[in-house]
Amino acid sequence: MIDTQSFHESLKNAGFSMFTGVADSTTQEWLKLVYQEPHHVIATNECEALAIAAGHYLSSNDIACVYLQNAGLGKIVNPLTSLCTKEVSRIPALLVIGWRGAPGTTDEPQHAKMGQITAELLDLLGIPYSEVTEGNFVDIASQAMAWMREHKTPYALLVRKGQMEKVDAVYPPEYLVTEPTREQAIHAIVAASPVNSIFVTTTGKTSRELYEYRIEQGQSTDSDFLNVGAMGSATAIALGIAGNTERPVIVIDGDGACMMQLGTLITAGALFRPNLLHIVLDNQAFDSTGGQPTFSDCVGFTDVAATCGLEASAVHNLSDLQDAVKRCITHSKPSFIHMPIARGARSDLGRPKSTPSERAAAFTREVCS
């Protein structure tokens, strides 16, 4: 196991004082320490994080540390190749990458492909990398810093799942919303929706909770698209679906995922598909990766959605949520609902028994029939 506290201290001793990124469950214990750093920026997506790191370097000559899951490595190919590379601006950044789906490990299906090609992709990008292990974590930060100072391009550290020891720390700040749970909100939404509604759920526990509710109630899951990967894409998927059906299309989203692709609200307003309802259940956290706080408390979601052309409303209890869902289904324009919820999920929350490809095929058969 990697001594998480010592690993963090080695980064600071090597000269890393600026941290930014998108939360990842692989490094969640280390992130508890990162979130307490005075120079830490919670990014809404990985491209933003790398750009913040680039701006920090350009204005201070200090190399920043960017944390992300390897799923996000695919997202930052653009700024890596068109901004940071030696062929362009020569901007170094330390990438601490959670290596989900690493070869020889068992993981969720959405991590399989990226896990297989993570090292290969870094090679293709010309980014040197080292895997952080129990035997090298003390010296690896200083080695990476020395390399980047010389070559002025990014360097990556790969961390496998389950390698970091737990630390005695919590994520600040305190969060005071205690009800309802996300699971209760999902149950209320389904109960208030027309039986022919199509659901698209965001990455992580939201999809798992909807699936379990369907199974418990003996209901079909064929009209539900569980977006287990591609965080932030649920609303765009729903937009594509809504253009091909008159059935209500309901997105159950989270604050972190919504902010990751906030521009999709602009597209939703412009396309003006009245059968679209976008619901954000906001707990000010990346709940599925360990509960790291987001910046959602700084966002007026309903104001943003309304400005983008959606019929927007805010609710604070399950009764008002159900009333809003019923009202929005009858609107002649796309709709948006924001609701604060508690953090956390059941410890015994299960996972879908079918594969993503099986569920996608069943969804297509149902919606196209």
CB 301 within 8 A of CB 280: yes
- Architecture in CATH of 4-160: 3-Layer(aba) Sandwich (3.40)
pTM for this structure? Answer: 0.94
Token pair of 303 as six digits: 């104001």
Cα–Cα distance measured from residue 177 to residue 139, given in angstroms and rounded to the nearest whole number? 42
339 Rama sector, left if φ>0, alpha if ψ -120 to 50, beta otherwise: beta
Q: What is the pLDDT along the chain (369 residues), one digit of tens a residue?
A: 999 999 999 999 999 999 999 999 999 999 999 999 999 999 999 999 999 999 999 999 999 999 999 999 999 999 999 999 999 999 999 999 999 999 999 999 999 999 999 999 999 999 999 999 998 988 999 999 999 999 999 999 999 999 999 999 888 788 989 999 999 999 999 999 999 999 999 998 999 999 999 999 999 999 999 999 999 999 999 999 999 999 999 999 999 999 999 999 999 999 999 999 999 999 999 999 999 999 999 999 999 999 999 999 999 999 999 999 999 999 899 999 999 999 999 999 999 999 999 999 999 999 998
Query: Per-domain residue ranges for the chain?
Result: 4-160, 182-368
- pLDDT at residue 9, rounded to an integer: 97
- pLDDT at residue 170, rounded to an integer: 85
- pLDDT at residue 338, rounded to an integer: 98
Q: Which of 288, 270, 277, 348 is nearest to 311 (CA)?
A: 277
- pLDDT at residue 171, rounded to an integer: 85
- pLDDT at residue 325, rounded to an integer: 98
**CATH class for the domain made up of 182-368:** alpha beta
Beta bridge partners of 25: none
CB 144 within 8 A of CB 116: no
Domains 4-160 and 182-368 share a fold: yes
Number of neighbours of residue 166 by Cβ within 10 angstroms: 10
**Three-state secondary structure readout of the chain:** CECHHHHHHHHHHHCCCCEEECCCHHHHHHHHHHCCCCCEEECCCHHHHHHHHHHHHHHHCCCCEEEEEHHHHHHCHHHHHHHHCCCCCCCCCEEEEEECCCCCCCCCHHHHHHHHHHHHHHHHHCCCEEECCCCCCCCHHHHHHHHHHHHCCCEEEEEECCCECCCCCCCCCCCCCCCCCHHHHHHHHHHHCCCCCEEEECCCHHHHHHHHHHHHHCCCCCCEEECCCCCCCHHHHHHHHHCCCCCCEEEEEEHHHHHHCCCHHHHHHHHCCCCEEEEEEECCEEHHHCCEECCHHHCCHHHHHHHCCCEEEECCCHHHHHHHHHHHHCCCCCEEEEEECCCCCCCCCCCCCCCHHHHHHHHHHHHHC
